[in-house]
């Protein structure tokens, strides 16, 4: 299959997305079961559009950042809050998540800095002081 008509740049089969993002179809169905995706159906077959594809990208990025699907679900709701929620409530949640992410960024910066230091130490000659007996 894989979009044979060249017409539909907007419709994706489950296998298309699976291949594109290097995940299993099972995973995609699982995300739907958890409410992170909601593809349309043609008969029983799932049909994905751009919106779902975009959400999938966010899901995978969330996973790379170490978040649970539960977290990611909350996170996605920030994106499609089409003013369906009270604005101040939305802003509150965004602020929360931003704080968490910025903390994570600090952790990350610290870790990167430490690793770079380790790298330097590894390359540089040892400091030659009580280096024996361990």
Partner DNA sequence: CAACGGTTTGACGTTAACGTAAGCTCGTGG
Partner DNA sequence: CCACGAGCTTACGTTAACGTCAAACCGTTG
Write the binding mask 24 to 53 for a second copy: x where contact by CB under 8 A, - elsewhere: ------------------------------
CA distances to 3, 17, 109 from 29, in Å: 20, 11, 35
Please state, in angstroms and rounded to a whole number, the distance separating the CA atoms of residues 113 and 103.
15
Burial of 12 (0-12, 13-18, 19+ CB in 10 A): buried
- Of 3, 19, 50, 119, which one interacts with a second copy (CB under 8 A)? 119
Rule CB under 7 A: is residue 15 a binding residue for DNA? yes
- DSSP assignment letter at 82: S
Q: Based on CB atoms, which residue is closest to a second copy, 47 or 78?
A: 78
Residues in the site for a second copy, rule: CB under 8 A? 61-62, 64-67, 78-79, 81-83, 87, 90-91, 94-95, 97-98, 101-105, 107-112, 115-116, 118-119, 122-123, 126, 134
């Amino acid at each position: 299959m894989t979009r044979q008509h060249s017409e539909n740049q907007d419709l994706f089969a489950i296998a298309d997305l699976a291949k594109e993002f290097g995940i299993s179809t099972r995973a995609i169905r699982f995300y739907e079961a958890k409410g992170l995706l909601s593809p349309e159906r043609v008969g029983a077959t799932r049909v994905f559009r751009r919106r779902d594809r975009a959400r999938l990208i966010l899901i995978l990025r969330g996973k790379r950042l170490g978040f649970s699907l539960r977290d990611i679900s909350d996170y996605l709701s920030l994106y499609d809050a089409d003013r369906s929620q009270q604005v101040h409530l939305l802003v509150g949640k965004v602020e929360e998540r931003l704080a968490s992410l910025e903390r994570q960024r600090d952790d990350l910066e610290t870790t990167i800095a430490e690793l770079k230091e380790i790298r330097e130490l590894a390359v540089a000659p040892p400091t030659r002081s009580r280096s024996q007996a361990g």
